Structure 1
Amino acid sequence: MKLARYLFLLTAGRILAALAVLVGVLQILDLLDVTTDILDRGLGAGGVFYYGLLRLPRLIEQAAPLAVLAGSLFAFAKLAGESAVTAMRSTGISAYRITALALPAAALLAAVQLVNGMIVAPRADARLTDWWQATAPQEDQVKPQDQMTFRVGQEIVVGRPSEDARRLDQLTIYRRDGQGRLVQRTTAEAAVYDQGAWRLVSPRFEAVSPDGVSSGAAQSMTWTQNIRPADIQALRTGAATVSAAEARRALQGGVSVRPKTFYDTQVQRAWAAPFACIVMLLLAAPAAMANFRGGASTLIVQCLAAGLVYLVFDGAFTALGENGAAPAVLAAWAAPAIFAALGVTALLYLEG
């Protein structure tokens, strides 16, 4: 129990230290771009702090894998440099057990990453978007667009959103069948979001069939429950990130402007991304076997390079999945599986 506690605290401490440094560097670089804008808006130091706080979840998400890699390398190199690994192996403790005892530190950060990516970061992004838009100078605020086009399931929607994104004026809905052929066009004065659903105001219908075109009208009707004002707002502001919840809603008939393969990949990535923390520790584990009397630096550099190459491959597979060139499951999980296997293989080889 003492050994397990020691290895956990050693690894976790180094990982947290690396995470703090990396997040600090990313935070500084981020603030260099926006501090002038924040101060020009008259928000002062409080605005800078609030912006940094809302950006923190995404920065942690970006820095966590590299923090695990760097922290684990520092921890294992310390054990190797003090000959602690040699002493432990002389008592029958294998390198596999040393790695397994350090693994909970990475697993804990992976769990934090999962919660952060699924819940915390999307909410912080939404609040940051609202705050940034609300505090913008009048001339810089996002104005209602003349038209905005997006998909809702098999429907193509064209409308002009209000400033609070709870109303779509001059709405036109093109409904298609499974083969993409137009089967109905619906026009309405507006669609209003009320009690979790969108209500069409004065809709008119034109249905297309082999027998011809038939038309109809109504005073009011419920349209869909799959769209949220936040989804419309995200389209208006051009949000760069898509959360797992937003991707799932898009796949279930919600707002979408990208191919289905993109949203499939985002859903899978939301679960696969936290495993990068565990993969990084496995890639760093061979550093525990380093011999500081001969070639230790080479092994540590190889471990570091493996972690960086993993990030490149992970990004490449993700891009393939988003563009439909690879299945979403393969795109999200291939790199973690391959590099985790490589880390274990390297450890097996060094253990002999």
Structure 2
Amino acid sequence: MTAERGAPTGAPGAEKRVGGGLDTEGHRRAVAAEFTRLVHDGTLDLPLPGSGRTRQRWAALTALAERDLGLVRLAEGHTDALAVLAELRDLGVRDLPGVRPGRRWGVWAAEPPGAALEAVPTRDGNWRLTGTKPYCSGARACTHALVTARTGEARGLFAVALDPAHATPVSGSWTAAGMAASDTLDMRFDAAPATRAGPPGAYLERPGFHHGGIGVAACWYGGARAVAATLRAAAARCGEPHTLAHLGAVDAQLEAADALFDRAAAELDADPDDRKGGAALRAMRVRSFVEGVASDVLYRVGRALGAGPLAHEAGHARTVTDLTVYLRQHHGERDLAALGTAALGAVATGGLPGVQERPS
């Protein structure tokens, strides 16, 4: 694809500063290089969801998020792709691509109104992808991707090698400062050879779709911890009462989120195939709670510390900006309404513990 596919390794903290801020392009390249290193040295070969070590998986994503949210966005996509492929194999899907050393995967499944990606079958039983896919994180860093595309009215999942002859990142399709290092661009496909990964609907209907959603929340949680670290350091220096009050509130919420991940991982490992039907509700609960915690951390750290860290600490300012954008993978009141509907359904059917009707 580009020279970055074989780029030398480097650390995300090594970008040079320009005009008191950060060299955004240099940071993006450093993140891509670090992502490459993590894939090649096996750091991203994480335990699969439901393997009995799900909490270790989420903790690894949280730790990467504390380092850099752009980096963890690439890492989370890669590890999610490996989990999807493993789950589809377990479900009996055949002819899936191999997970070979050095391949850097993304999962590109966003389908907003507008641009459409179409999959057309070929005479030899394969498929070709044509059209534009938006929100492709790692557009210039990944070598392969799992991509959703339309086959008539259905939505299918396809594995595709990102050959530059058939897949081209659309320059300038991400103009925001937030999450710039995630290299989230539109990707234009032109008759790209692809392999269908399961029947239509397989991507959304498998239990792992919900398990993966909690993995994203683990990344948000790491970002919140990184923002809170600035508050913790300031409180240690000054001990000002209002700063300490905000720190106390932040600390309590982060600890509550951590405990919720413990519980969710234990439940998931006890029922990885979702025979009890609780995966969707569990994922919605965790994501909604963690999004609320992270949003409150952003609010409280800003209230406690003012403009100083945003103006003079480039790393903190970038994390705040990145996390603000990243959290919008949670769809606010729309997702909360879905959670409310699911919670009512759980009460009606005597479902998961933790949802109980209040006495009138």
Q: Flag whether TM exceeds 0.5 (same fold).
A: no
TM-score (norm 2): 0.32
The structure carrying a bigger helix percent of its residues is: 1
